[in-house]
């Protein structure tokens, strides 16, 4: 059996470990991942600018993949800056404006809905001018490939209005040994169907492009994701693509940042895809074609309802990280509540209350256990002093004491540990929810996806965390540990200053209800103590 020091030590370590998980998770992303990402982006920008005015290079040898098919070489990727003079067709839908350049690629997508505005008040544009563009074609034949970057495409129309009903656009690129044709059907909701074909059976590869570069930060996963025929998902984060990887039987591929994605999908005839690293080890995907390929595409916000309307399986484009299995149903619940409440802020409040009610039995158990341990602290100390030279007897009497009073030295820690996956799932849901963008709550909160401009919620969150700490019983005696606990409200407040208001609101409301629960339990124990006097 464990002795007193072992029991107390284990309990302290469990509590501290739980808190360290929270602090480390937030601090690591804020202090390590964000600077690394910014450095990578800055380096990539310099490298792209250096290549900007040079023609695309073509490798003299094709890479042979593990499945023995030719794959495009990363050096063939064009990073030319496309100016307005290179735009050959402009497509307007009810959701966006799509600009097609002289090589038949998507040069830019501008979101036209009112809520999608940047910090300068301009409508959000998804792509950098010099990145790998969606629908860029790379021919397996090197000579054809070189020519393809010199010959402009001919559009069937320079202006397409698909705001009310679907429209068609045909892009034709006539080369010496082949004619490449892209036949679009564009829908008002912004998605499209596309058939790409080449004459003379000229094999080619077509890309969904580099991810949108609107919001790449420490908070969310960004990179590449694919879903295979066996329904497995593979994610390759930016910076994590070290070598060519091949996927046979992809239902969809997507490159994405926190809120936006460029998606290609075909649920009837799966895709064969090669993902290769760029100079910064970011993933870039190419679909294989022997001369003809058909698929559908979507470029825009990772809105749950929009993706579901295209195909329910596209919901998997939204990557919640490790806790996806909890986060997905959590978001479905959040969306269900919002459909009745109508306001995302109050929906978050309602979700928080609902989660607290579901977890109440666990929370109650933990709180009661901590109260019992607090009441037993003097007796525990007596046993510790009385049997300080006999650890076996000390342990035996401690166990008897626990058993007599129904106390569990681990009772306050385990419920807390079991709640960690729930917290991180909600964290990922609220961080990734584009639905919160432009969603007002009350008074000063006009965008739940942005930080609180006046820091009111982070301060309230820190204050309630402090109050919660003060009224929660603890058996921690070590002074250093006490000081660490006392600093936590300040540390958390600091980190939450820059967190989305929606997430801070969740934690603040969660603290309020935890304080209420703890207050009721404290009063109950005080009454019981008074009755036994």
**Res 402 pLDDT > 50:** yes
Stretch 141-149: mean pLDDT, rounded?
Answer: 95
Stretch 169-177: mean pLDDT, rounded?
Answer: 97
* pLDDT in the model for residue 109: 94
Q: Which residues share a beta bridge with 496?
A: none
% of the chain residues with pLDDT over 70? 77
> Which of 329, 347, 392 is closest to 2 using CA atoms?
392
Of the ranges 318-322, 473-477, 503-507, which one carries the lowest mean pLDDT score?
Answer: 473-477
Q: Which residues share a beta bridge with 172?
A: 154, 181
**Do the bridges between strand 167-174 and strand 154-155 make them parallel or antiparallel, or are there none, so unpaired?**
antiparallel
Task: Determine the angle formed by the axes of helices 360-386 and 391-405, rounding to 10 degrees.
Answer: 140
Stretch 218-231: mean pLDDT, rounded?
Answer: 88
Stretch 235-264: mean pLDDT, rounded?
Answer: 95
Do 29 and 219 contact (CB within 8 A), yes or no?
yes
Using CA atoms, how far apart are residues 173 and 184, in angstroms rounded to an integer? 14
**Res 58 pLDDT > 80:** no
Of the ranges 12-21, 373-382, 478-487, which one carries the lowest mean pLDDT score?
Answer: 12-21
* pLDDT in the model for residue 55: 35
Residue by residue, what is the 3-state secondary structure of 466-495?
A: HHHHHHCCCCCCCHHHHHHHHHHHHHHHHH
Q: Which residue has the higher pLDDT, 90 or 6?
A: 90
Which residues, 6+ apart, have CB-to-CB distance to 326 below 8 Å?
421, 422, 425
Which residues, 6+ apart, have CB-to-CB distance to 56 below 8 Å?
75, 76, 77, 78, 79, 80, 149
Using CA atoms, how far apart are residues 511 and 442, in angstroms rounded to an integer? 19
**Res 8 pLDDT > 50:** no
Q: Cα angle vertex 499, ends 496, 503, to 5°?
A: 95
Q: Which pairs with CB-CB distance under 8 Å and at least 24 residues apart come from 456-460?
A: 457/496, 457/501, 457/504, 457/505, 457/508, 458/493, 458/496, 458/497, 458/499, 458/504, 459/493, 460/508
Q: How many CB atoms lie within 10 A of CB 156?
A: 13
Stretch 350-378: mean pLDDT, rounded?
Answer: 80
Q: For 436-449, what is each residue's pLDDT tens digit?
A: 988 899 889 999 98
State how far the alpha carbon of 124 is from the alpha carbons of 108, 121, 192, 290, 355, in Å. 10, 9, 20, 36, 35
Which residues, 6+ apart, have CB-to-CB distance to 80 below 8 Å?
52, 53, 56, 130
**Res 149 pLDDT > 80:** yes
Confidence band for 261, pLDDT divided at 50, 70 and 90 = very high
Using CA atoms, how far apart are residues 221 and 29, in angstroms rounded to an integer? 11
Direct distance between the N- and C-terminal alpha carbons of the chain, in angstroms, rounded to an integer: 33
Confidence band for 225, pLDDT divided at 50, 70 and 90 = very high
Confidence band for 43, pLDDT divided at 50, 70 and 90 = low
**Res 314 pLDDT > 80:** yes
**Res 42 pLDDT > 70:** no
The token duo for 299 is 């470029």
% of the chain residues with pLDDT over 90? 49
Using CA atoms, how far apart are residues 501 and 265, in angstroms rounded to an integer? 34
> Which of 377, 375, 408, 380 is closest to 529 using CA atoms?
375
Confidence band for 359, pLDDT divided at 50, 70 and 90 = confident
> Which of 194, 220, 71 is closest to 139 using CA atoms?
71
Share the mean pLDDT of the chain: 81
* pLDDT in the model for residue 489: 87
Confidence band for 532, pLDDT divided at 50, 70 and 90 = low
Do 218 and 29 contact (CB within 8 A), yes or no?
yes
Do 270 and 251 contact (CB within 8 A), yes or no?
yes
**Res 307 pLDDT > 90:** yes
| Residue 65 DSSP one-character state | P
Using CA atoms, how far apart are residues 154 and 167, in angstroms rounded to an integer? 17
pTM attached to this predicted model: 0.78
Radius of gyration of the chain (CA): 29
Do 505 and 458 contact (CB within 8 A), yes or no?
no
The token duo for 99 is 């600009």
> Which of 266, 272, 318 is closest to 297 using CA atoms?
266
Using CA atoms, how far apart are residues 372 and 413, in angstroms rounded to an integer? 14
**Residue found under tokens 């060519």:** 244
Q: Which residue has the higher pLDDT, 205 or 442?
A: 205
Confidence band for 219, pLDDT divided at 50, 70 and 90 = low
* pLDDT in the model for residue 61: 33
Q: Which residue has the higher pLDDT, 34 or 147?
A: 147
Q: For 479-495, what is each residue's pLDDT tens digit?
A: 676 677 778 888 889 88
Confidence band for 53, pLDDT divided at 50, 70 and 90 = very low
């Amino acid at each position: 059996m464990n002795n007193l020091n072992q029991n107390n030590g284990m309990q302290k370590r469990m509590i501290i470990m739980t808190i360290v998980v929270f602090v480390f998770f937030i601090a690591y992303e804020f202090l390590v991942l964000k600077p690394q990402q910014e450095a990578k982006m800055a380096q990539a920008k310099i490298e792209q600018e250096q290549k900007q005015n040079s023609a695309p290079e073509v490798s003299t040898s094709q890479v042979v993949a593990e499945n023995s098919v030719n794959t495009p070489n990363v050096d063939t990727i064009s990073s030319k800056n496309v100016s307005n003079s290179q735009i050959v067709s402009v497509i307007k839908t009810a959701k966006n404006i799509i600009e097609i350049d002289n090589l038949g690629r998507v040069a830019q997508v501008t979101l036209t809905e009112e809520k999608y505005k940047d910090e300068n008040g301009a409508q959000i544009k998804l792509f950098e001018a010099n990145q790998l563009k969606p629908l860029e074609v790379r021919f397996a034949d090197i000579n054809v490939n070189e020519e393809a970057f010199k010959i402009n495409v001919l559009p069937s129309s320079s202006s397409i209005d698909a705001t009310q009903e679907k429209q068609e656009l045909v892009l034709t690129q006539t080369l010496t040994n082949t004619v490449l044709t892209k036949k679009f059907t564009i829908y008002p909701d912004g998605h499209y169907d596309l058939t790409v074909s080449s004459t003379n059976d000229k094999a080619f590869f077509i890309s969904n492009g580099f991810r949108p570069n609107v919001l790449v930060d420490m908070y969310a996963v960004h990179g590449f994701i694919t879903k295979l025929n066996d329904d497995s998902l593979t994610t390759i984060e930016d910076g994590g693509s070290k070598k060519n990887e091949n996927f046979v039987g992809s239902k969809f591929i997507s490159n994405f940042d926190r809120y936006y994605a460029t998606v290609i999908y075909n649920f009837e005839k799966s895709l064969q895809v090669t993902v290769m690293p760029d100079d910064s080890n970011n993933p870039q995907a190419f679909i294989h074609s022997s001369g003809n390929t058909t698929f559908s595409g979507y470029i825009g916000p990772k809105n749950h309802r929009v993706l579901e309307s295209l195909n329910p399986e596209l919901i998997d484009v939204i990557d919640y990280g490790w806790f996806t299995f909890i986060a997905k149903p959590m978001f479905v619940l959040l969306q269900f509540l919002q459909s009745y409440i109508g306001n995302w802020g109050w929906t978050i409040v309602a979700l928080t209350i609902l989660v607290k009610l579901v977890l109440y039995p666990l929370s109650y158990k933990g709180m009661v256990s901590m109260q019992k341990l607090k009441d037993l602290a003097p007796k525990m100390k007596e046993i510790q002093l009385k049997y300080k030279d006999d650890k076996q007897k000390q342990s035996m009497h401690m166990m008897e004491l626990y058993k007599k009073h129904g106390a569990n030295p681990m009772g306050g820690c385990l419920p807390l540990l079991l709640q960690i996956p729930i917290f991180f799932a909600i964290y990922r849901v609220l961080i990734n929810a584009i639905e919160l963008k432009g969603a007002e709550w009350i008074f000063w909160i006009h965008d739940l996806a942005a930080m609180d401009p006046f820091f009111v919620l982070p301060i309230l969150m820190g204050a309630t965390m402090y109050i919660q700490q003060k009224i929660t019983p603890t058996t921690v005696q070590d002074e250093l540990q006490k000081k660490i606990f006392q600093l936590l409200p300040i540390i958390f407040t600091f980190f939450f200053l820059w967190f989305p208001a929606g997430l801070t609101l969740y934690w603040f409301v969660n603290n309020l209800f935890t304080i209420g629960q703890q207050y009721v339990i404290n009063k109950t124990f005080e009454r019981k103590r008074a009755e036994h006097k």
